[in-house]
Amino acid sequence: MKTVFVLNGPNLNLLGTREPAVYGAHTLADVGQMCAAACARHGLALRFHQSNHEGVLLDWIHEAGRLHAAGDLAGVVLNAGAYTHTSIALADAIKGTGVTLVELHISNVFARESFRHHSYLSAVARAVMCGFGVQGYGLAIDALAQMQAAA
């Protein structure tokens, strides 16, 4: 059984209470349940994590890279939060591991502040999703499953 990593960056632990008009009322635990259901539909295992620390996210991407090299990874869904706009280290890890990655944003970042319009991750991501709310997580897992089936 192949694995999907769903990685969440800084402040996503505040889902449900942080700016509900932007991010909605679902909690991170709700998102984890949605991801588990999406993985189950496709016969995939789920690794679901959140950290406010960039280095921890890097370690998980490296771990996903080891699974990728062994042929045991379906892909990574990464909502890097604000690190999207600041982290060359995350971009380098994605590129260096060769993982299939979907960059995900709950809100439509292009309808928000201009600093959110630039992503260091998009150039190394297989796909970018934004503006679907937390339902985007399930859509991203569906997309990874389709990419896996096509490979």
The pLDDT tens digits for 64-122 are 999 999 999 999 999 999 999 899 999 999 999 999 999 999 988 766 667 666 789 99
Q: In angstroms, rounded to a whole number, what is the distance separating the alpha carbons of residues 18 and 3?
A: 29
Domain of 107, CATH number, reads 3.40.50.9100
The verdict on residue 39 lying in a domain is: yes
Distances (CA, A) of 94 to 88, 114, 121, 147: 10, 24, 8, 17
Average pLDDT over residues 46-71: 98
The verdict on residue 149 lying in a domain is: no
Asked if residues 95 and 124 have their Cβ atoms less than 8 Å apart, the reply is yes
Instruction: Domain count for the chain, please give it.
Output: 1
State the catalytic residue, choosing from 68, 83, 105, 137.
105
Q: What pLDDT is stored for residue 76 in this prediction?
A: 98
Active site (annotated) includes residue 105: yes
Residue 10 DSSP code: T
Q: Which domain holds residue 130?
A: 3-143
Active site (annotated) includes residue 83: no
